Structures are given as structure tokens and as C-alpha cells.
Chain A
Amino acid sequence: MTASAQLDILYEQRGKRAKELRKTGKKVIGYFCCFVPEEIITALDMVPYRIQGSQSDPIDQADASLEPMTCPFARSCYNMALKGDYDFLDGLVATHSCDTIERMYPIWLHNKPSPFNHLINVPHMTGPSSAEFYRQELIYFIKKLEEWSGRKLDQEKLRDAIKLSNERRALLRGLYELRKADPPLVSGTEITKMLVAGMGIPTAEHIDLIQKFSAEVKERPRSGQQKWPRLFIWGNEIDDIAFIKLIEESGAHVVMDDLCTGSRFFWEDVPETPDPLEGIAVRYIRTHCPRSIDLQITDRRKDLENRYAYIKQYVQEWGVHGAVFYIVRYCDTCELEGPDLREYLNGMKLPVLMIEDDYSVSTIGQLRTRIQAFLEMIA
């Protein structure tokens, strides 16, 4: 089977591989968000499973216990859990990423608990005392996981897990390098499938898949496609190809992203420090996410540079012509962040389309008009 075909299966049949592994006796630990170090889960010989929502399923059960003015992605995940779609998880690890997840955790815990449940209280600030607090929270998380599983976390295994994850990170960066070509050698749609596929399988298996797929990509004939506008996507969770596909079908290439399902979760390696947990804490707390903030802001220009210089680099290195922000409604964090980032990018003469959406395929028609009008505008 080609890697492409494998990719499609993993993308469509989420959870299938995890369920297979579970039958062999492996524990599957579900988690939200880039702030959960999956290396810890891997090192305890368990399978990390990043929880996704479903853009096509209507949210029909969540309202009985969760208010509608909540992040629709989180609500969708919760709805799936209530329907039993996540019954195969042995663990639920949430984070204090944002108000919604923090407050949804006790509700989920009450209505659909997994055998193991835990919330990692990730600090919002990013200074040294925050990194230390985060490290302590990870120690506590590890302790709880050890108590529940009856296993001890082996430091060597943790170091190995870090090496393995770094290997995956490097491979994903390599895949993203292929998007620098004009037209890009890999489409945004394929990348999304690859990222989603990796969410439900062990890191080692994802590494194999990426290697196989990259080889196939390099072999395949260049499509002789038209040179279309090259877009950068900013946002949070995109675990469905619908939106990216819509953009690419409208006549653009999605060449780079800053999404928590995308580059945000894998771009930087965990430094291989003697105490592996230290490397983990220092690297994960630095995750570029609007929900984190520097303690002190003195000069706005400097603050914007601090926050977004890495995006400037993406835009320049990937030859980007325009940016699309995909902000999920009710995300206070992104809604307060969006205008600042737009200002910064406009300052670089980059046009921005800011979309506020519901994380659902029902709005595709309206999105199509906006995307198309934006492409007509920047042509």
C-alpha cells in the first residue's frame, strides 16, 4: 500500500489503530493541546492520542451539560465523548490551555470519565518561575500516571522518547520544507491528513509513515500546476481537511501554518538535557500560543516583534502572499490576539483575511465566498 493510501485510511478511520493497539494490551491516553508532553506517555509505554472533534457531526448531546457559548471545537470533542466515540480511551489528560478546556474538564470528568483523568495546570506566564511551576505540575502528572498504571517512569526511556519525538519533529519540518517549492510539492490538504494521522498512532509508526510518504513525494512527477497565490494559515485546531481543501480548490496553495495541530506543536525540538524533564518543561512552556504571555510588556513594537518574529520568518522563507486567520468563535484568546497579528502582518504588506467560524462544515458556502473574494483581491 502506498503511503498516500495509508494516510487516507488513518485520516478517515481515526481511532482504529489506537483501538487495535488497545486490544494488544496497550493503554491509550487521550489528551488535548500542545502543552501535554506526549513523550511522557510514550515513555510509560502507552499510546498518546490527541483528541479531535468532528466537523460534520451535529452537536446534539453536549447542551444538556455544557453551555453553547463555548469553544465549538471543545464542545464537539465533548459531544463525541458523550456519544461513546471516546470510550476506547484509558486516559483523559486535559490542560489549562484556556478557559473553555479548564472549565470543561470537570464536566467531562463527571459525565464521561476515563479510567485515568488529569488536568495539567499549565501556567499562562512564561518566565522562569512559571517554567519551574510547570515542571512541578509535570512531576505531579507523572506521579498520578505511575500510581494509576503501576509503572515507574524510567529516565532512560524518557530520553529515548524525547529522541524519538525529535526525530518526528525533524521529519515533519522536512516535509514542510517541500512546501517551499513553487508550486509546493505537498499540498496543504495532504499535510493536514498527515498531521491528523499522527494524532492517533504511536510516534514510531508516524515516523515510518512520514519517511515513506516523503520518499513518494520526491519520486512523483511535478504536477505542472499553475502558480497560484501562496497562503499562510493562522489559528488553532484544524483537524479536518474541509477548510484547507476549500482554499486549495479556490485556486491557492496553503504553504505554511501556525496552528496548534500544525507547526506549533512540532516546530522546536526538546533539548536533550541531562534531566530530561527539564528539557521538556523549558521547551513546552515556550510553545508559541496566544494563551501564553510574557510577564512584562514595556514597548509595544518590541512586544509584537517578540510575539511574531517567527511568523515573519515563515512568511519570508515560504514566499507567502497572503494570510488567512481561522478563528473559532468564542475563543477570547484568539479574538484578542487576531487584530494585533493582523496589524503586524499588514505592516509587512501582507494582506490578511480574518475568519471567525463555528468549526462546522455547514458554513462552507459562506467561507467559499470570502476565500474567493480574498483571492480575487490579492491577485
Chain B
Amino acid sequence: MEEKEQAKTTANKGTEAARQIRSLVKNIYKSAHEAKAAGKKVAYFMVGSQYDEIVRAMDIVPLPTENYAGLCAAKRDMDRFLLKAEEDGYSQVLCSYARIGLGFDSLRKEMGGIPENSPDGGMPLPDMMLGSSAACDPRFKWYQATARYMEAPTYSIDIVAPPADDNLQEVRDYYIKYQKDQLQGLIAFLEAQTGKKMDKERLWETIRLGDKAWQLWYDIDRLRVAAPSPMPSQDHFSVMVAAYYYSGTQIAVDFYQRLYEEVKYKAENKIGVIPDEKYRVLYGGGLPPWHTLWIFNYFESFGAVCVIENMYRGYDPVEVPAHVQDPVEYLAWRTFLRLTQRHEQARARSGSPAVERLLEMIRDYAIDGVVFHACRSCRANTIGQVHTKNILGKFTNIPMIQLVSDMVDLRDYSEAQWKAQITAFIEALAGRRTAA
């Protein structure tokens, strides 16, 4: 029996630039296939692992497996991969990105080739897999498990950040030293895999490009304080592709430059995402619902625009001390500064760096309400949301809601429940407006 046609999943974007991201995403996988054909090295790659510029400087093409999972969800073609992973013994509550990745690799092995009609041509077999402990445990366990489906060597690095209640002065030096050692280890591995030595000048070049892209991204987000909002959250979830998958390349810089100009124009000319912006919402945290991104348009149908997010652009630009002359040490410093950006502020006030950032956003972006998304299979980005809400609530009484589903697994999503929650949220926002 045939399945009936399904509804679409993607959102209408606010900016032209965001609409162009689709081709950048396609290009990730296209480049990987081309690289393989040309005998270049391709690596499975974890986002936000602070090693992007290193990988680019070694001319290795990254295959971001988490992105691929998100892509499959957006195209609603993730079930076959989820089911295959579960068939192989992986639990249903395990990170759904990992399940999709493992399922894809398992099917690829079983079929002796890329599964038919895989989104964007699927992922070719990598030459190596680069795990990390940045953000969560699955990110180094996943590739260890993947080894059962292929012969590629795996290398993992630790990305460390001290807990918010540590005294940074006392721990900084050994944290940075360890981080540097970890990154050096990765470089040595990549040199062995590629047969080439790391060119320090090339590394500085990619670092400068990476920094420039992130700086531009920050500048763009600063423009978004404008009312009406010139760029909504659903665009953020698209445009993060440049910084997350193209850091260290000119492509990311060019992209953000274009986006910057567009957003600046809109901000200066008061061109909003929707004609009648009533409420400004902060997307406070949690991976986006890739399976149902049009939910942002649903908010917009009530006049509520998600104007900024505490999500992918997780830190503002940092300034590494000028005395740091070695590029790997620079990266170690940059990692430490990025990941402890609001620690001292938190120690002085709320105790939570996330809350500090959210309070800044609420103030700068004139926020009326906060939305969180809890994903059942992502402990990393979900645990702490209720806590954050509780602490935020001590400093502000704007309405906040927590929507629950999963980032890619549709089985945890209830449209009816979400619509009910969002409607109630809007009523709360409206209520405050009339009361004011």
C-alpha cells in the first residue's frame, strides 16, 4: 500500500542570503564526492570542535555527519536510517543524529554503496573520522561505534572548559596547555594520514578567515537589535552553515559579507520579516526542530517573530593575547576564551553563563518572551533548560515556554500539543501587552 503525500517541513526565510544556504549545503556533499574522486582526503567531522581551521589547512574535506542527519530530517527521509540503527541494537533514546549516521553507514555497508535516493547524494566513505568531546559524549563514542561499518581510522580530541564555579585564573594555564596538546595530537594524526606536514602559515591564514567569518556573524547579529526584526531565527538555523561547515574558507567570509549588507539594508530601512511585528521572541536554547522548521512561520502568523537565539553562534568574538605567536596555541587560547566568555560575570551574578547571555539578549533585543526546545535524545542541549528558566525567572518575568520533541526523530513530536502551547504563549504575551 502506498503512503499518502506529506506536508512540507521547511520554513519561509526572511533573508535572500538564507535562501542561498541550500546550495552551500548541497556543496558540502558534492565537494566530498568530488574529493574522493580526485583522491583527496575526506573526514567525518563534528561541528563546533574548534578544529575546523586545522582540517581546512590540511586540505581535508569535512563531512559533517550531524548536519547530514539534520538534512535527512528536513527532507523527512530519516526513518530508514533510524530504523536500521535500532535494528542493529542502538537504543531509541540515543542521540538521533548518531542513530541516523549509524543507520546510514550500516545501510551503506549492507548495500555495498550509497542507499538509493539518499538526500543530496548521500555521504561517501570517509578516509578518517575526527571525533571530539566538545559539547557532548556521543561525539566521540559515535565514531568509535561507526568503526564496525567501515575501515577508516578514528582520532578524537578533548575540548575542555572549566565549570562555571572554577576560578579561571587558577586553572587557565593548564587548560590551555592541555588544549594545545590535544590539538597538536590531531595535527600529528592528520599529517600521518595525508603524508603532508602542516604549513603554519596556511594555518594562520585559515584561522584569520575563520575569525573573520565569526566576527561578521557577530556583527550581523548586532544589527538584529533593530525593530522590526530584519532577520528571524529560522534564517539563523540556515546561515550557521557557513560558520559551522566552512570556517577557515573564503566562502564563509563572502557569505556573511553578503548577509551583513542585506541585514544592514533592512535594518536601516525598517524592512521587517513580517509587516506587522507585534512580539519579539528569543529562542533561548535547544537544537532546532529540523523536522518542522515551519513552526517559526506559525509563530509569525500571530505576529511573533523569533528575533535572536542563544544557539549556534554560541560565543562572541574573543581577543587572544598578542604574545601568542604559535597558531596552535592561538587556537587553544581561543577555545578557552570562547568557552569561558561569561564565566566571571556568572560568578558575580546569576551563577549561570547561559542566563547571563540570555539576560543581555533580552535587554538588547527588547524581548517579550522566550522559547526553549527540549529534545528527547539530546542531553547536551536539553539538560539545564528548566534550570535556566528558573534562574532567568528571578531576573525577569517575561513569559517562557519549553516545547518538547526531538531534533530529528518525528516520533516524539506532537503538532497538536505544540500548537496549543504556542497559542497559550501568545495569549500570555498579548496579556502583558494590554496590561502594560
B91 and A356 contacting across the interface, CB-CB below 8 Å: yes
Q: Which residues of chain B (165-181) have a CB below 8 Å from chain A? A: 165-166, 170-171, 174-175, 177-178, 181
- Residues of chain B lying within 8 A (CB to CB) of residue A132: 178, 181
Report whether A332 and B137 are in contact in the complex, using a CB–CB cutoff of 8 Å.
yes
**Given A133-B160, A293-B141, A332-B138, is A125 in contact with B182 using a C-beta cutoff of 8 Å?**
yes
Docked-complex contact A303 and B379, CB < 8 angstroms: no
Choose from B141, B178, B380 the contact partner of A133 (Cβ within 8 Å). B178
Nearest residue, chain B, Cβ from A340: B145
Task: Mark each residue of chain B from 272 to 287: 1 if its CB lies under 8 Å from any CB of chain A, else 0.
Answer: 0000000000000000
CA A106 to CA B380, docked complex, whole Å: 14
In the complex formed, the residue of B with least CB distance to A119 is B163
Are the CB atoms of A297 and B164 closer together than 8 Å?
A: no
**A70 close to B (CB within 8 Å):** yes
**CA A332 to CA B377, docked complex, whole Å:** 9
Interface contact A336-B383, CB-CB below 8 Å: no
If the complex has contacts A293-B141, A332-B94, are A339 and B165 also in contact, measured as CB distance less than 8 A?
A: no
Give Cα A121 to B377, complex, Å.
24
Question: Given A69, A100, A117, A338, which contacts B376 in the complex, CB threshold below 8 Å?
Answer: A69
Contact A124 B379 (CB under 8 A): no
Question: Which of A70, A102, A336, A354: most chain B Cβ within 10 A?
Answer: A336
Q: Is B257 an interface residue (CB 8 A)?
A: no
Q: Hey, which chain B residues are within 8 Å of A333, CB to CB?
A: 137, 141
Does residue B298 face the partner (Cβ distance < 8 Å to A)? no
Q: Is there a chain B Cβ closer than 8 Å to A61's Cβ?
A: no
CA distance A66 to B383 in the complex (A): 7
What bracket does the count of chain B residues touching chain A fall in? 35 or more
CA gap between A103 and B380 in the complex, in Å: 8
Cα distance, A106 to B390, chains bound together (Å): 13
Judge whether A98 is part of the interface by a CB distance below 8 angstroms: yes
Contact A130 B178 (CB under 8 A): yes
Q: Is A349 an interface residue (CB 8 A)?
A: no
Known A66-B383, A297-B153; judge A140-B171 contact (CB<8 A).
Answer: yes
Interface: B140 (CB within 8 A): yes
| A residues contacting the other copy or chain, number (CB 8 A) | 58
Main secondary structure of the interface of A (DSSP, over half): helix
- By a CB distance below 8 angstroms, the chain A residues around B383 are 66-67, 69-70, 99-100, 103-104
**CB distance A339 to B382 under 8 Å?**
no
Asked if A121 meets B162 with Cβ closer than 8 Å, knowing A296-B189, A330-B379, the reply is yes
> In the bound complex, how far is the Cα of B373 from the Cα of A343, in angstroms?
36
The complex places the Cα of A127 from the Cα of B258 at a distance, in Å, of 44
With an 8 A cutoff between CB atoms, is A298 at the interface?
yes
User: In the complex, what residues of A have CB within 8 A of residue B131's CB?
Assistant: 293
Q: In the bound complex, what is the Cα–Cα distance between A295 and B170 (angstroms)? A: 27
* Residues of A with C-beta under 8 A to B156: 124-125, 293, 295-296
Docked CA distance A339–B162 (Å): 32
Considering the complex, give the chain A residue whose CB is closest to the CB of B151: A300
B50 part of interface (Cβ distance < 8 Å): no
Minimum CB distance partner of B185 in chain A: A295
Name the distance in Å between B285's Cβ and chain A's nearest Cβ.
12
Question: Given the known A-B contacts A124-B140, A125-B156, A297-B147, are A69 and B379 also in contact in the complex, defined by CB atoms under 8 Å?
Answer: yes
Within the complex, the shortest CB–CB distance from B51 to chain A, in Å, comes to 13
- Nearest B residue to A124 via CB reads B133
Asked if B424 is at the interface of the complex by the 8 Å CB criterion, the answer is no
How many angstroms from the CA of A104 to the CA of B380 in the assembled complex?
A: 11
Of all chain A residues, the one with the shortest Cβ separation from B352 is: A106
Q: How far is the CB of B151 from chain A (nearest CB, A)?
A: 8
Distance to closest chain A CB from B61 (angstroms): 21
- Say if the beta carbon of A329 comes within 8 Å of chain B: yes
Docked-complex contact A103 and B147, CB < 8 angstroms: no
Set of chain B residues within 8 Å of A339, measured between Cβ atoms: 88-90, 145, 148
Determine if A237 is an interface residue (Cβ-Cβ < 8 Å). Answer: no
Residue contact B160 to A129, C-beta cutoff 8 Å: no
Q: How far is the CB of B316 from chain A (nearest CB, A)?
A: 21
The reply to whether B154 and A106 form a contact with Cβ atoms under 8 Å apart is no
Taking A100-B379, A130-B158 as contacts, is the C-beta distance between A106 and B137 under 8 angstroms? no
Complex CA–CA separation, A344 to B175 (angstroms): 36
Interface residues of B in 364-397 (CB under 8 A from A): 374, 376-377, 379-380, 382-387, 390-391
Distance of A104 Cα from B379 Cα, bound (Å): 11
Contacts of B93 in A (CB 8 A): 69, 329-330, 335
Residue B95, interface by CB 8 Å: yes
Q: Mark B53-97, 1 if CB is under 8 A from A, else 0.
A: 000000000000000000000000000000000001111011100
Residue of A106, A107, A293 touching B165 (CB-CB under 8 A): A106
Contact A340 B148 (CB under 8 A): yes
A130 → B minimal CB distance (Å): 7
Whether B136 is near chain A, meaning CB under 8 Å from some CB there, is yes
Q: Please indicate the chain A residues that have their CB under 8 angstroms from the CB of B391 in the complex.
A: 110
For the complex, give the distance between the alpha carbons of A250 and B376 in Å.
34
Tell me if B351 is interfacial: C-beta within 8 Å of chain A. yes
Chain B residue at minimum C-beta to C-beta distance from A333: B137
Q: List 17 A-B contacts (CB under 8 A).
A: A99-B136, A99-B380, A106-B163, A124-B158, A125-B133, A125-B157, A129-B181, A296-B153, A300-B148, A332-B136, A332-B138, A332-B141, A333-B141, A335-B91, A336-B145, A337-B145, A340-B145
Interface residues of A (CB under 8 A from B): 63-67, 69-70, 98-100, 102-107, 109-110, 117-119, 121, 123-125, 127, 129-130, 132-133, 136-137, 140, 143, 290-291, 293, 295-298, 300, 303, 327, 329-330, 332-333, 335-340, 342-343, 354, 356
The 6 closest A-B pairs by CB, nearest first: A129-B181, A133-B178, A136-B174, A339-B89, A336-B141, A103-B383
| Additional pairs, 17, CB under 8 Å, beyond known A105-B163, A110-B387, A333-B141 | A65-B386, A69-B377, A69-B383, A123-B160, A124-B133, A127-B185, A133-B175, A140-B171, A291-B137, A293-B140, A297-B147, A300-B148, A330-B379, A332-B379, A335-B91, A336-B141, A337-B141
